[in-house]
Amino acid sequence: MIELISIICSLAICILTPIEVGRIRSGWVREKFKGDRDKFIAAYHKQLALLTWVGIGFGFLSIGLSFIEMHPGEGTVKIIAGIIWFAVAGVCAVSKRMLPGAATAGSLTGSGA
């Protein structure tokens, strides 16, 4: 059951993240966000970076757990879940690069420009 929830949530991230990044690129800022557009983009950039690492971690964890699974079919489900989590990491990494002015928004790259 937990794998099913994980698969549904990771698929939702894969679908909704590019949609939201497209909205951000067209000038959208979340209404509840306290701050200007640059701070919003910097915060969203950090969120995507975190989701990238979470996707990589859960991907490796799911695939690793598939090798010790004893029930028939469970290993396959865990491998599929791991592949989808790697897709989350890829979608978030690509979306992070598509954010407008992400490097200058909070000097997240350390360049300061």
DSSP letter for each residue of 9-46: HHHHHHHHHHHHHHHHHTT---TT--S-HHHHHHHHHH
Distances (CA, A) of 113 to 36, 44, 108: 18, 18, 10
pLDDT(108) > 60: no
pLDDT tens digits along 44-69: 999 999 999 999 999 999 999 999 98
Q: What is the pTM of this model?
A: 0.82
pLDDT(100) > 90: no
Contact 18, 91 (CB under 8 A): yes
Torsion of CA 76, 78, 84, 85, to 10 degrees: -160
Closest by alpha carbon to 88, among 5, 3, 12, 2? 12
Under the banding of pLDDT at 50, 70 and 90, the label for residue 105 is very low
